[in-house]
Structure 1
């Protein structure tokens, strides 16, 4: 039995030379098109034929023709060269920050209120960035980050998840939203202890805002036996339930203007300092190759969010507008 001949690996230089000859069917023109001398081009094509064990060209004194095998392999050679060119373009793009795709995951209690600021910043400062937004609950976002489905998260912290690094953006106070005429409506000195006995409406299980609100209530002395009505999947529904007189709720300050502006049946109240609050941050995989890029984005977002009713992390006292309700 005659053993099969082992084909040598062709080089990219040999493939370029052959593809040029296949296109021009003329050695001099082909050599000029790729910046190679004619003898070097001829030698590269001969070396490719030897490596593959196939005659690619039919050479005559007047012209060059492709052999049947050469016609078939010329298509393959061009496909390989195109793929290599795309690989190099992608590598160059990867070296440039804020280009290509960025898959951003955002929790529902942040997305409607912060995305206008995020999108405006990205469009103005990073026009080459292809931002793709995914709104999901925290557990789903963390799974997506770990699996590589998502690149960066915008959510409430701390997370306490191994392998995930946080880039804090700002802190924001919670505001009590109550029906108009409620004893606490409009007050600016509500003690946390007032949460002990209120008919509190919260989001469904799975929302981190629900867990944060329950933690605040426990800190205020609310017992586990005090009932909490949970009937809303989103903040908009929650606010409508409050307007209907079913109870009160807690909203982060960034959500207050959006959710209460058109409803005259609602009123807000502020807690005495230090008010209950939450921290919002970007979260990324620890050791991600894009950590410098994400750190720069976090810095830019902190600057853009100074216009919001929040306390930007690292910006010193008085940061944020304090307005918005």
Structure 2
């Protein structure tokens, strides 16, 4: 009879396309994993993986079988979650994905209080870009994801807990001291430095300024807001930063100024994303409330 362990091993091989790496991910020996895969293929009468000393490929029939295996794994995971539904909140572990332009600025603000309230809660955080996290939520690889909206999440549920605007950050020598607000018309697109393609923060910033992507070009291509801030400190341009990140990014940079972008907002919305049939919705709702309370308290206090 086909076992869940065999399916788990097969999905690990599909993910890594490498038997040794899959075995390490499953915490078993390579020989044990290979034996289980061979037995699975024998029981099904189908070759799932073509392998030699150089590569592992998934066969056409193997793709169909692994797609069904993912559904089976998801159903089993949800079955276990239903069985544990009457336990205290966060009695079981949870894996949540977060994008790089949110994680470093949100998590230090909200996790300490979460740990204090639920000291036994085992929370695993995965940092990835939005498109990767959406796929991981859909496939059941993670419980939920924290994304900045708008973003395409067709078929998923969202629990919004924060709205915020962007702030224009420049060197103080390049910003009039009396300036309190700035509009997109006052921005110099030639000097504006944003994150490289693939980061939704860039799309949100361009949308807030009503700029077209092909009009925002820079000789500098960054994947980090911290790097952009250092470039601004060096008088190499300006950038746009979400409110949540201001205290961490410019706290130690006395040479910088942050001016509110006076364009219709909110410029981005922060939400928890889950599958529609996710059975721990009550815990996600509780997380949303905790995050919202902590952000409101800490960001508002910083602004006052």
TM above 0.5, yes or no, is yes
Q: Contact 1:184/1:190 (CA < 8 Å) preserved in 2? A: no
Query: Following superposition of structure 1 onto structure 2, how do residues 93-242 of structure 1 map, counting pairs within 5 Å?
Result: 93-96=84-87, 97-184=89-176, 187-195=179-187, 197-217=189-209, 219=210, 224-225=214-215, 227-242=217-232
Q: Deviations over 1:199-258 (max 9, x none)?
A: 1101111111011112223x2x56844534441111110111111111100000111111
Residue 157 of structure 1, CA deviation: 1.3
Query: Following superposition of structure 1 onto structure 2, how do residues 1-325 of structure 1 map, counting pairs within 5 Å?
Result: 93-96=84-87, 97-184=89-176, 187-195=179-187, 197-217=189-209, 219=210, 224-225=214-215, 227-272=217-262, 274=264, 277-309=267-299, 320-321=300-301, 323=303
Paired position in structure 1 for 2:49: none
* Secondary structure of 1:181 counterpart: helix
For residues 165 and 91 of structure 1, the distance between their equivalents in structure 2, rounded to whole angstroms, comes to 19
User: What are structure 2's unaligned runs of at least 5 residues?
Assistant: 1-79
Q: Contact 2:82/2:279 (CA < 8 Å) preserved in 1? A: no
Q: Contact 1:177/1:248 (CA < 8 Å) preserved in 2? A: yes
Q: Deviations over 1:129-148 (max 9, x none)?
A: 21001111111111111111
For residues 216 and 270 of structure 2, the distance between their equivalents in structure 1, rounded to whole angstroms, comes to 29
User: What are structure 1's unaligned runs of at least 5 residues?
Assistant: 1-88, 310-319
* Secondary structure of 2:115 counterpart: helix
* Secondary structure of 2:303 counterpart: coil
Residue 111 of structure 1, CA deviation: 0.8
For residues 223 and 106 of structure 1, the distance between their equivalents in structure 2, rounded to whole angstroms, comes to 24
- Note closer, same or farther for the CA distance 1:184–1:226 as it changes in structure 2 (3 Å cut): farther
RMSD of aligned C-alpha atoms?
Answer: 2.5
For residues 292 and 226 of structure 1, the distance between their equivalents in structure 2, rounded to whole angstroms, comes to 42
For residues 186 and 137 of structure 1, the distance between their equivalents in structure 2, rounded to whole angstroms, comes to 37
Residue 118 of structure 1, CA deviation: 2.5
* Secondary structure of 1:119 counterpart: helix
* Secondary structure of 2:221 counterpart: strand
For residues 301 and 245 of structure 1, the distance between their equivalents in structure 2, rounded to whole angstroms, comes to 35
Which protein has the bigger helix share?
2
Residue 274 of structure 1, CA deviation: 3.9
The structure with the larger Rg is 1
For residues 120 and 84 of structure 2, the distance between their equivalents in structure 1, rounded to whole angstroms, comes to 10
Paired position in structure 1 for 2:10: none
Higher relative contact order (CA 8 A, sep 6+): 2
